[in-house]
Structures are given as C-alpha cells and as structure tokens.
Amino acid sequence: MQIYNTLTRTKEEFKPIQPPHVGMYVCGPTVYGDAHLGHARPAITFDLLYRYLMHLGYKVRYVRNITDVGHLEHDADEGEDKIQKKARLEQLEPMEVVQYYLNRYHHDMEQLNVLPPSIEPHASGHIIEQIEFIKKILDAGFAYISEGSVYFDVRKYNEKYHYGKLSGRNIDELYETTRELDGQSEKHCSLDFALWKKASPEHIMHWPSPWSEGFPGWHLECSTMGTKYLGETFDIHGGGMDLMFPHHECEIAQSCAALGHDTVHYWMHNNMITIEGKKMGKSYNNFITLEQFFTGTHPLLTKPFSPMTIRFFILMAHYRSTVDFSSEALEAAEKGLARLKEAYSHLMKLKAGTASTIQTQGLRDKCEEAMADDLNSPIVLAHLFESAKAINTLFDGKAQISEADLKELREVWQLFAIDLLGLRLQEEGEQGGQEQAYHGAVDMLLEMRLNAKRQKDWATSDMIRNRLTELGFNIKDTKDGFEWSL
Ligand code: ZN
C-alpha cells in the first residue's frame, strides 16, 4: 500500500508516505432528503473497516464526500438536479437544503455510533479542481465539447482501456442494452457521460468554466476529491453496490483518462438492503428513514427501534450479503442485542475467584480471525454470544473465573463488541449509573449541611445551601431532614 501525503497541495510536492498510512475514500450521501437504511448500511460497513484498520495500527485518512451538486434526477445526464428540485419545491436556497439535510445526516450517524470521517469534502467546494480534472481528460483526448457541455468519450477510451472492468461488463453488451440516440443529442454515443453540463436558464446552481456557465457531472467529484486528498493512487475506495455501475466505472475511466493509470488499489462494495423482500423504491413506498425507525412512525414498523438495534441488525449480516428488513427481523435483533447487553452488564459485575473452572480463553484469537476474514462481523457476534453463555454461568455462581481470565475477557468484549463493532452496550447502565452518582452527591452535600446545622456551624450550612441554590436546586427542610429538586 502506498499513499501520498497531500498536506502539501501541488503534485510536485506530493511525498509518498509509507504504511502504516491508509487512504480510504467512500462515496457519501447526496443530501436532499433524510437518511434511510440505504445510507445506514455503507456508513456502518465502512465505519467497521475504519475502526478495524485503526485497530491494526494503521493511520487512516478517511474521506467521505458530500454530493451537493450535479446529481441529476435520472442518475444519468438528464433531469433536474436533486438538490435544486428540493430547493424549488420548498422555496429554499439550495445550500439551505444541503445544510439542513447534512445536519440531520450527521445526527443520524452519531446515533448509529458511526465515527466521523477525517475529511468530508463537498462537491460544490471543489469546482475549480473539477474543471482542472476535465481539462486533463480533454488534453488526453478522451472527451469532447458539445454545445457548451463536455462529455467523456467512452468508445475512444475503450480503445485503450477497458470500460466496464470493475462491474464485469463489456462495451458491446452495453451498447445493446442502451437506447439509440435520436440524433438530437449532444452526445456522440449513448454511453458517453457528462463531465460538465451547460446550465439551462432555469438551472440555478452554476459556475463559470472555459466551456459554459454550468455545473460538473456527478461522477467527476469522486475522481477529483479522491485524488486531491489521497493522492494519485490510494488504497481503498468503497460504496454501495448500486454505485459500482455506472458511478465507479465512470470514476475509473475518468482517472485513467486523466492520469494514465488506475488510482484505486482495492474496491469494496456493501450489498443492498431489501424491505420485506422488495427493493427500496418510491413505487413501493418503503423508504423508511432512520428517524422513522427510531420513532416507529412508518406503517411498515410495529414499534420504534433503537439506533443500536439497527446497527446490530446490519452487523448480523456479512457486508457482501443482502439484508432483508422487516419488523419481525428487527424484533429478533432487538432480543439478540438485549442478550449481549445483559451479558456485558454481568461481565462488569463478576468477581474473580481463585481459579477458572470454565473455559473463556481463546475468544480474542477467534474474533481477530473473523475480522481478518473480510470483516466477518456475524462470526464475531457468534463468538460473543458463545462467550455470553459462559458469562451467564459465571454470574449464576455455577463456575469461577481467575482474575487474569476475567481481565482478559473484559478487554476482549471492550475491543470487539464496543470499539470495533461499535455497539453501545453499556449505554443505559452507564446513564443510570451517572444518574445514581449525581443523586448520591447531592444527598451527601445536604447531609453535610444537616450535620453542620446540628453543630451550629451556620457558615458551612448556609454556604452549602446558597451554592446549591445558585446552581438551580430547590432545597426544602423537612421534619426528617431535607428534600430537593432541580
Ligand atoms: Zn462517488
């Protein structure tokens, strides 16, 4: 693995930095609506990879972009910009739409315990770089200008490189499946895609360029921002499987055309989510947003499901398998998560005995092996459930564990369940514990005040009362002592 230190901006100044550095780019959301399950799965999959690489000792630069321009309604080069359309319908400034949904996206990600990436670049903040990238493709002869727009010349590209190599397609088959151009099109060929689009008069998001007042094509932002922040070659590029074609295929073509070589060492795609066996789609009315899951406000849901239940459910499947969501499946996941939480809480309460009379060793190796095997989160969970049984036996007093084994067991649970799988197992217990500590501390202060009063130490008694009142506490002396509220 080799990535470049892009802290210095110009290409000449790029300095290769050696492992343990890893560059990772993941296609982020187009922010024109609330995040749904289709957003949760890649976010959690690549969060798992990010956490795992850091656990292995890599210093990871994780770039996840925000698409805020150029993603047209029909994914190809037609239709209205998704953000502009939302802005028009809601009578907002396009960047208001972006900010609104981005804030909500971040909130949802935090709820799912998805760590923020190292860099979150916006497409609209990289127009200059995208124009420069187009110039390189034009100079290399793999693009053409037509009516103020610039299109990538797929046929020409395919003469030198292989268009379709990532998704296993070939150009002849692709021609057969795409419709013929009607002769009115600006494109030479139906497979060509826009690098720059001239803005129509009603299009409000546009920038000056050498070719027209317009906006960049959707695929271009990832080629541009990936190479800007991670260098001309970098390690990992990820995203949902639905992005493999044409988005990632176009990205490869753009980068090879501009730079003369591939940029990405490893492509990684998470599989799709279906809802009750159906693809998510407008026609099925099954786009359940994350907030609807958390509040239970969608007709397909029987009840609310916590963010951790959603995370756990997604991790129960390997990222390359499909996942089918239903209320019943989520209820089962909720029970499974409750079992893990209970075992974890028991584990924290266990007292060590003189020697172990139950087998708890080997868990670390088994979990490491599963993670190293293509992030096999369901196997890690299976090992944790196996371990939960032993913990419950110990908790019931039917076996003993030595101090060293107990310490190891706690460390392994912390590492795999909490740090790597990112499950908040201690959440409720911890909150309850904080609450308890807070009540205990206030009670203790008021007891000290009562003692001071009994000893006629009015200065101390008044000081405690006044300070607590200043902090917003209501203190009432009663026959038996005191009462307080905030
Ligand atoms: Zn992308």
Domain limits, the chain: 2-270, 278-420, 436-485
- As a CATH number, domain 2-270 is 3.40.50.620
> pLDDT per residue over 313-354, tens digit each?
999 999 999 999 999 999 999 999 999 999 999 999 999 999
Per-residue model confidence as pLDDT tens digits over 437-460:
777 888 889 889 989 988 999 999
Whole-number percent of the chain with pLDDT over 70: 92
* pLDDT for position 230: 93
Reported confidence tier of residue 281, pLDDT bands at 50, 70, 90: confident
Distance from Cα 335 to the centre of ligand 1, integer Å: 36
Q: Does residue 213 have a pLDDT over 90?
A: yes
* Residue 220 Cα to ligand 1 middle (Å): 8
Of 421, 376, 370, give the one whose Cα is nearest residue 50: 421
pLDDT at 75 over 60: no
If you average pLDDT over every residue of the chain, what do you get? Answer: 89
What was the pLDDT predicted at 16?
46
Contact 229, 121 (CB under 8 A): yes
- pLDDT value at position 11? 47
Task: Reply yes or no on whether the pLDDT at 382 is more than 50.
Answer: yes
Q: Would you state the pLDDT for residue 292?
A: 93
CA of 95 to the centre of ligand 1 (A): 20
Please report, rounded to a whole number, the percentage of residues in the chain having pLDDT higher than 90. 67
Q: Is the pLDDT of residue 429 over 50?
A: no
- Cα of 413 to ligand 1 centre, how many Å? 35
* Distance in Å, CA 248 to ligand 1 centroid: 7
- Mind listing the pLDDT tens digit for each residue in 175-203? 887 766 666 688 999 899 999 999 999 88
Ligand 1 centre and the CA of 321: distance in Å?
A: 21
> How many A from CA of 437 to the centre of ligand 1?
47
Question: Ligand 1 centroid to 140 CA: how many Å?
Answer: 22
Q: Report the Cα–Cα distance between both ends of the chain, in Å, rounded.
A: 57
Structural domain 278-420, CATH architecture: Orthogonal Bundle (1.10)
Taking the centre of ligand 1 as the mean of its atom positions, its distance from the CA of residue 339, in whole angstroms, is 38
Ligand 1 centre to CA of 28 (Å) is 7
Distance CA 98, CA 119 (A): 17
Residue 237: pLDDT band with limits 50, 70, 90: very high
Q: What is the rounded (10 degree) CA torsion for 141, 147, 150, 155?
A: -60
Q: How far is the CA of 239 from the centre of ligand 1 (A)?
A: 7
* pLDDT tens column, 398-428: 999 999 999 999 999 999 999 999 999 985 5
Check residue 57 and give its pLDDT: 87
pTM of the model: 0.84
Per the CB < 8 A criterion, the answer to whether 473 and 486 are in contact is: yes
- Expressed in angstroms and rounded, the spacing between residue 264 Cα and the centre of ligand 1 is 13
Give the distance (Å) from ligand 1 centre to CA of residue 240: 10
Fold match between domain 2-270 and domain 278-420: no
pLDDT (mean) for 113-130: 96
- CB-based contact 330:305 (threshold 8 Å): yes
Say whether pLDDT at 5 is over 60: no
